[in-house]
Amino acid sequence: AAVRYYEWSVDYAFVSLDCVEKLAMAINGQIPGPRVDAVEGDTVVVKLTNNLPTEGVVIHWHGIRQFGTPYYDGAASASQCPINSGETFTYTFVVDQAGTYFYHGHFGMQRSAGLYGSIIVSLPANKVEPFHYDEEISLLLSDWWHKSMYEQELGLHSIPPRYVGEPQSLLIEGRGKYNCSLDECSSFHYNCTVDECSTSPDCIPCWPSNPECDPHVIPVHPGKTYRLRLANVASLSALNFILEGHTMTVVMADGHYIEPFEVSNLDIYSGQSYCVLFNANRNPSRNYWAAINVRGRDPTTPTGLAIVQYLPNSANLLPPSPAPVSPAWNDFAASTAQARKYVPRPGLHTEHRYGKVVPKRAAGRTLILLLTQNKIDGYIKWAVNNVSFVPPATPLLAAFKFNLKKISSPPDTPPNFDVSALPAATANINASYGSGAYVFKLGETVDVIIQNGHNLNPDDSDLHPWHLHGHHFWVLGYGNGKFDSRRHSKSFNLINPPLRNTVPVFPFGWSAIRFVADNPGVWPFHCHIEEHFAMGMGVMFAEGVHQLPKLPPPTLGCGLTKPTHL
Ligand code: C2O
Ligand code: CU
């Protein structure tokens, strides 16, 4: 196995990714940041220098499990101290499983500032993919606001809150276009006037003539088969991906081979990644749109577009059709049906650690996590079992390892809760702040039921994509309403549940997962919507921390880990 070495500088940057300039964060001047390319089993070394003049930074390697290196997981308050301004920190970890992953800032809302990039892990020469393709393409999908992450974050923590609202633009590989009502939009519009463009659904969106926000172009050779590596790194948005005119065959989810199935549009929640195959077998005299639309929230953001360029057509040849339309944002039946289609590909369990099947024995521990929106001291917060997570100054990994303080264990499921009659959160005065962790026995099998509640408005319930660090989990099932353990645990899929690292929890519904707590460390488990995590929607899981030989000194130095001698 090889060592893949990268040197990165994180800086503030003025960028115009959707043609409107804003303050953002870039790596080596790029958004998305440089792509990490490695082969399964390789060691990735990233020497990162924080050149942000006034704040710390960390980078999380999403989907990489960090066996033996939990301190390089890159989650502030969990695995390490933020890297101070002006300092250099080196991440070193093994990419143990081929697949499509990504990295992103994990301190405050730095992902929303543009701090993200792709991680592509290929198979070693002695292994073959269970499908054929000629070439591969990776696309990071995200959302974008014109307000800086600082305004967004302060707004969420204000009374009354100033929500970030819906994104101004959707980005494909860091390129988008702000809505056509902008004056500067007039130079490149296609079949309509600027005014028409903002109102007519048939109008083809226009592109301002600013090369920084030219659409991303995906060149393809007619007749060839492509493997598209897709990941949703959005701060807020669930997305639906469409390749105009082309059917896609989904072959991999979060780095795991799945039984292939065809889709005309693909739901992809923040934190998830997919590989899909498509054949460039359409009429080659024109180009096509690659498109993303918002799912799960009433969208006000225009379709995000890139151009699939059928060579040798010019990349400037805009597709002659309107932006592709996704299923209705609130068609949760369609979303759930698609989520249920994922089953592992027989004989190709990529999970080496647990053998071929999901552990069937009764779980060592079942945790029910109830999600509610609450008010604490007038601030609107998200809470899990009535506790709204506050990132502690001392990374929990170090706090456990050195017994620095007594770490509270968060509450178990509130007894006898009834989702349909949850206390209206305005009246819910029980929520409090917490920075604790659920502690598992090393090697224990854990079931987690994530039970959605409702928002402050009891008629509303949001979709939350939940992501676990340091593990992959089996998705045992989804359901509507209140989870009833006697009834619903019988419906769990224990035959062929898919392994994932991010699972959607549908409005007013529940999702059930199972994992083995076999990776010594402290691991965030949280809603991957950055705004929700910033408002407390997350928990920490800890296991086997005392088995770790030592923590690298550069990961320490903040909170209670400050050096006591100078
Ligand atoms: Cu991709 Cu804890 O995040
Ligand atoms: Cu959420």
CATH topology of domain 140-176+215-339: Immunoglobulin-like (2.60.40)
Strands 135-144 and 225-232: parallel
Q: Where in the chain is the domain with CATH 2.60.40.420?
A: 3-128, 140-176+215-339, 365-553
Nearest ligand to the CA of 506 is 2
Locate all alpha helices (DSSP H) within 306-375, ordered by sequence. Answer: 332-339
Q: Exposed, middle or buried: residue 170 (CB in 10 Å: 0-12, 13-18, 19+)?
A: buried
Residue 416 confidence (pLDDT):
60
Give the pLDDT band (50/70/90) at residue 358. Answer: low
Nearest ligand to the CA of 501 is 1
550/566 Cα distance (integer angstroms): 21
Residue 116 confidence (pLDDT):
98
459 pLDDT more than 90: no
Strands 273-279 and 248-253: antiparallel
22/160 Cα distance (integer angstroms): 25
Question: Which atom, in ligand 1's list, is nearest to the CA of 111?
Answer: 1
Q: Whose CA is nearest to atom 1 of ligand 1?
A: 62
Choice between 345 and 188, residue whose per-residue pLDDT is larger: 345
Return the percentage of the chain with pLDDT > 70, whole number.
88
CB of 532 sitting under 6 A from ligand 1: no
CA of 465 to the centre of ligand 2 (A): 6
Give the pLDDT band (50/70/90) at residue 180. Answer: low
Question: Which atom, in ligand 1's list, is nearest to the CA of 75?
Answer: 2
CA of 272 to the centre of ligand 2 (A): 14
Q: Are 170 and 294 in contact (CB under 8 A)?
A: yes
CB of 62 sitting under 6 A from ligand 1: yes
Question: Which atom, in ligand 1's list, is nearest to the CA of 538?
Answer: 2
Question: Which atom, in ligand 1's list, is nearest to the CA of 469?
Answer: 2
Domain 3-128 in CATH 1.10.40.30? The answer is: no
CA of 316 to the centre of ligand 2 (A): 38
Mean pLDDT of the chain: 89
394 pLDDT more than 90: yes
Choice between 404 and 523, residue whose per-residue pLDDT is larger: 523
194 pLDDT more than 80: no
CB of 111 sitting under 6 A from ligand 1: no
Nearest ligand to the CA of 102 is 1
C-alpha radius of gyration, the chain, whole number: 23
Distances (CA, A) of 143 to 224, 288, 296, 352, 496: 30, 21, 14, 35, 33
Closest CA to 443 of 540, 363, 523, 539: 363
Choice between 351 and 55, residue whose per-residue pLDDT is larger: 55
CB of 63 sitting under 6 A from ligand 1: no
CA of 452 to the centre of ligand 2 (A): 10
CB of 106 sitting under 6 A from ligand 1: yes
Least confident of 94-98, 231-235, 368-372, 403-407: 403-407
Q: Most confidently modeled of 81-95, 163-177, 428-442? A: 81-95
Question: Which atom, in ligand 1's list, is nearest to the CA of 524?
Answer: 2
Q: Are 474 and 358 in contact (CB under 8 A)?
A: yes
CA of 560 to the centre of ligand 2 (A): 30
CB of 256 sitting under 6 A from ligand 1: no
Task: Tell me the β-bridge partners of 37.
Answer: 120
Domain 365-553 in CATH 3.40.50.11540? The answer is: no
State the average pLDDT over residues 459-471.
95
